[in-house]
Amino acid sequence: MEGKVPQPLVYVDTSEVREGALFELREAIEELVAFIEAHEPRILAYRVHLDDDGRRMTVVHVHPDPASLDHHLEVAGPAFRRFADLLTLRSIDVYGDPSDTALRQIHEKARLLGSGEVSVHRPHAGFARPQLDPT
């Protein structure tokens, strides 16, 4: 792996919203997103999606490299406890090569928030372009 340029990672988790928790979940998510935006400048994208009936939530984030995901889990990890009574985590999918530290933290998150299955999808073929300067 020496000499290889770190590649981006995509993280996707899917949860079921607990009955009667949608209003509180929406507020908690908005606070979490603001916190992440303020404290994680390297994360490329962080999106939360709710289905039309508010029963399923999907979170997608894109990191430029494994170190960014490590940082996210360290910085935002303590906030995950707030969600334990609001949702049940069903799955976490990571596309890329996360660190062993990240995998350990992801499994801890899965245990904390539900019985979610964790799957890592290692890259086979493809490429990633560096982020372009918008100016």
Averaged over 46-61, what is the pLDDT? 97
Q: Token digits for 134?
A: 């918008």
pLDDT digits (tens, 9 = 90+) for 98-107: 999 999 999 9
pLDDT digits (tens, 9 = 90+) for 16-37: 999 999 999 999 999 999 999 9
For the chain, the C-alpha Rg in angstroms (whole number) is 15
H or E element, residue 34? helix 22-39
What residue segments make up the domains of the chain, in order of their start? 9-121
pLDDT digits (tens, 9 = 90+) for 6-18: 789 999 999 999 9
User: Over 90: is that where the pLDDT of 46 sits?
Assistant: yes
Q: What whole-number distance in Å separates Cα of residue 75 and Cα of residue 5?
A: 24
Q: Token digits for 109?
A: 């998150």
DSSP 65: S
Averaged over 124-134, what is the pLDDT? 76
Q: What whole-number distance in Å separates Cα of residue 108 and Cα of residue 114?
A: 10
User: Which listed CATH number (3.40.50.1820, 3.30.70.100, 3.20.20.70, 3.40.50.300) goes with 9-121?
Assistant: 3.30.70.100
User: Over 70: is that where the pLDDT of 2 sits?
Assistant: no
What is the bridge-based pairing of β-strands 56-63 and 9-17? Answer: antiparallel
